[in-house]
Amino acid sequence: MTTRETILKALFAALQTISGPKILRNDPLPERIPPEGLLILRDGDPGEPETMLSPLSYYWEHSASLEIFVQALDGDTRNQTMGALFQEIAAVLSNDPTLGGLCDRVTPQAPDTDTLAIEGAPSVQTAIVPIELIYVTASQLG
C-alpha cells in the first residue's frame, strides 16, 4: 500500500470516530441523507510534489476534501447541525494532527457552504472542507 493510501485510510478512520453522521469515502451521493448528516471523504488532488535530493524524496501538499450534507425542514436546525459537525471535525483533526505520525501535518481549511432547494423535500445544506495533507514519500507514485 502506498503512503498516500495509508494516510487517506488513517484520515477516514479518524473521521469515523465522529458520532452521528454516516461517513463514506469516494462514494456517490446517496438518494437519502440521514437525519444526523452525511460526510463523504474525497481523495482529492495530491498535486505535483517538490523533489528533495538527499536522499531522493518527494514532498506533497495533497488536498483532500470532505463533503458535508445536512437535510432538515428548518434552517436553524440545518445550521446548528452543520456547526456541530464542523466542531467535531476540527476536534478530531486537532486531536491527532499527524495521523499517528503518518503525515507532517493535517490541516482543515475554511469550508465553502451552500444550500440546495429540493422540490418536495427539505432543503440540504452542503459544505466542502478542503483538508491539506503534508507528507513525504520515497516515490512519485506516493
CA triple 50-15-111, angle to 5 deg? 70
Specify the pTM.
0.94
Q: Are 58 and 50 in contact (CB under 8 A)?
A: yes
Q: Torsion over CA of 62, 128, 39 and 90, rounded to 10 degrees?
A: 70
What is the C-alpha to C-alpha distance for residues 90 and 86, in angstroms, rounded to an integer?
6
Q: How far apart are CA 53 and CA 94, in angstroms?
A: 31
Handedness of CA 73, 78, 80, 84 (dihedral sign): positive
pLDDT reported for residue 31: 86
Q: Give the mean pLDDT of 8-24.
A: 97
For the chain, the residue count is: 142
Q: In this predicted model, what pLDDT tens digit does every residue of 54-90 receive, in sequence order?
A: 899 999 999 999 999 999 989 999 999 999 999 999 9
Which domains can be identified in the chain, with CATH numbers? 3-137 (3.30.70.1700)
pLDDT, tens only, 96-138: 999 999 999 999 999 999 999 988 889 999 999 999 999 999 9
Joined together, the cell numbers standing for residue 17 give: 470516530
